[in-house]
Amino acid sequence: MISKWFDERLELQKFKDKFLNKAFPVHPTFLLGEVALFSFVTLVLSGIFLGLLYEPSTGKISLFGAMVPAAYASVVKIDLLPLGVIVRRIHHWSAMIMIASVIAHLARVYFTSAYRKPREINWLIGLGLLGITLGAAFTGYLLPYSQFSVTATSIAYYISKSVPWVGDWIARLLFAGEFPAHATVPRFFFLHVMVIPAVLVSLVGLHMLVLIKQKHTEPGANRKRKEARGGQRLIGIPVWPEQSYISVSLFFFLLFVVVLMATYIPLNPIETFGPPSPVTPVMRPDWYFLPIYGFLKLIPGDLSISIAGAKIGPEAIGGVFFPGILAFILVAIPFLDRASEAHNYIENPLHRPFMTSAGIAVAAFLFMTTVSGYIDVLHIAPASMAIYVVVVSAAAWVISYLLLRRYGRAVKKGEHVES
Ligand code: HEM
């Protein structure tokens, strides 16, 4: 009766026939994108609660008799509320899950070659989403305005300043003056709660529109089987009701995991670090920025090159060129590994020795640069660590390539066993 009333006005049946009957592939790795999406929903909901209590100002106010920045005081007060501390931890752990799932989703798309024609556009939109997700984490980091977050953000300030030719201008634009300026926290707050979520929502919408238009790649298929079914047709379960039940269950499972994490895993205790002071603590950034931090540690402090009036020092090499080259490689992948015809099935990574072993080598490189972030604790000299990084990454590439080639030959000869 109610659905008939709505149907007569909004033609819901047409919408149902067009979208809700669409097929969704049955494969667990296709849920990684949804994990990212649902973590974002949790982040928005917990963020709205935190936004009601947070004060984006560095003006001094009294907290337990000491004069501290208002932003810092407001976060200490949130931590003192029983629900406040849990929501703050939910926000933090959802962010970690979102970043990890976006990276895992990217790896799934890469290793199954789902970036190839016609999905190059969604690969590029996805890279924008990765950048903006990291931007959300970066701007959120400063907001508690503790000694810890100010020290971490100052590393990023010096990196932005080191961008050749335009560094000063970028640093002033992003940090609203010489960091830490009075306007830095309001600017980061504005970016964190307004600009970045708006861009993220728009890009996710675009990502989904392109996905609906192009359909998913199909697991368990190959070119012959797809062509026999007329190319683009996809076998899967309908979005309504089967996939929707799976998605809703996934959302609540994720919520359960994140609440469990928030209950038992505390965050950096900002009260222990205290408000910003001239004494700089020994600190490392969160895991997703550790490869950059570790790479910076490997570069000799006095290394400097001058090009057309610009001084290129360690910060620019480690903090600008290293992530820049990584980003350039990611952008170039679908255009280097080109396909003349549309690929609407997922490729078996074991059958693509070069691309799969290259991906493994990059993963090994990122792991080793992450370890480099701990050379002070491990008591390894930067020069020795740089050699380990190169040797391990190269070995990962060569060994995995040779193993996959051998596997490929065994498949051709019919020697492999499938169960
Ligand atoms: C906030 C970040 C992101 C969200 C919420 C998101 C969401 C999704 C969802 C729900 C799907 C459909 C299910 C699936 O194939 O897993 C999808 C597909 C896809 N995504 Fe993302 N994604 C994000 C970031 C990325 C990134 C970083 C890349 C790669 C650079 C990427 C590239 C793609 C591609 C190429 C597809 C189509 C895959 C296929 O048909 O096999 N996405 N995304």
Q: Phi, psi at residue 228, to the nearest 5°?
A: -60, -25
> Closest residue (by CA) to atom 41 of ligand 1?
217
pLDDT at residue number 287: 96
127 lines ligand 1 (CB under 6 A): yes
- 153 pocket-lining for ligand 1 (C-beta < 6 Å): no
301-319 per-residue burial string, b: 16 or more CB within 10 A, e: under 16: eeeeeeeeeeebbbbbbbb
Helix (H, G, I), strand (E, B) or coil at 267: coil
Distance 103 CA to ligand 1 centre (A): 10
- 106 Cβ inside 6 Å of ligand 1: yes
Pocket test for ligand 1, best of 38, 200, 210, 211 (most atoms within 8 A of CB): 211
Structure confidence at residue 84 (pLDDT): 96
Q: Does the N-terminal peptide bond of residue 314 adopt cis geometry, omega within 30 degrees of 0?
A: no
* Ligand 1 centroid to residue 207 C-alpha, Å: 7
Q: How far is the CA of 118 from the centre of ligand 1 (A)?
A: 14
Name the residue among 207, 189, 195, 73 with its Cα closest to residue 127: 207
By DSSP bridging, strand 23-24 and strand 237-238 are antiparallel
- Burial pattern 93-105, b for ≥16 Cβ within 10 A else e, equals bbbbbbbbbbbeb
Among 27, 130, 207, name the best residue to mutate to test ligand 1's pocket (greatest count of ligand atoms within 8 A of Cβ): 207
Ligand 1 pocket, 37 CB below 6 A?
yes
Residue 419, SS3 per DSSP: coil
Residue 34 CA: which ligand 1 atom is closest?
10
Ligand 1 in contact with 119 (CB < 6 A)? yes
Computed on alpha carbons and rounded to an integer, the radius of gyration of the chain in Å comes to 24
Which residues, listed in sequence order, are joined to residue 24 by a DSSP beta bridge? 237
- Domain 21-341 CATH class label: mainly alpha
Residue 108 CA to ligand 1 centre (angstroms): 9
272-276's contacts with Cβ under 8 Å and 24+ in sequence apart are: 273/146, 273/147, 273/148, 274/146, 274/147, 275/68, 275/69, 275/72, 275/145, 275/146, 275/147, 276/69, 276/72, 276/145, 276/146, 276/147, 276/150, 276/180
- The Cα 286–Cα 202 span in angstroms is 27
**Residue 362 Cα to ligand 1 middle (Å):** 20
> What's the pLDDT at 224?
67
What pLDDT score does 269 carry? 79
- DSSP for residue 18: I
DSSP, collapsed to helix, strand or coil, labels residue 119 as coil
pLDDT mean by block of 10 residues, the chain; 419 residues: 89 84 90 98 98 97 95 96 96 98 98 96 98 98 94 94 95 95 97 98 98 90 66 79 95 98 91 83 88 96 89 94 97 94 90 97 98 97 98 98 94 66
Distance of CA 184 to the CA centre of its chain: 24
215 Rama sector, left if φ>0, alpha if ψ -120 to 50, beta otherwise: left
Q: Structural domain boundaries of the chain?
A: 21-341, 348-411
Q: How many CB atoms lie within 10 A of CB 18?
A: 10
Rounded to the nearest angstrom, the distance between the alpha carbon of 325 and the centre of ligand 1 is: 22
Residue with the smallest CA separation from ligand 1 atom 28 is 126
Residue nearest atom 23 of ligand 1, based on CA coordinates: 126
The closest alpha carbon to 91, from 284, 247, 248, 259, belongs to 259
Phi, psi at 300, each rounded to 5°: -55, 135
| Atom number, ligand 1, closest to the C-alpha of residue 214 | 40
Q: Which atom of ligand 1 is nearest to the CA of 330?
A: 30
Residue 110 CB–ligand 1 contact under 6 Å = no
Is the CB–ligand 1 distance for residue 130 below 6 Å?
Answer: yes
Q: Which two tokens stand for residue 280?
A: 């700089």
User: Rounded to whole angstroms, how far apart are CA atoms 142 and 148?
Assistant: 9
Of 43, 103, 109, 250, best ligand 1 pocket probe by most atoms within 8 Å of the beta carbon: 109
Q: What secondary structure letter does DSSP report for 357?
A: H
Which residue has the least CA distance to atom 22 on ligand 1? 33
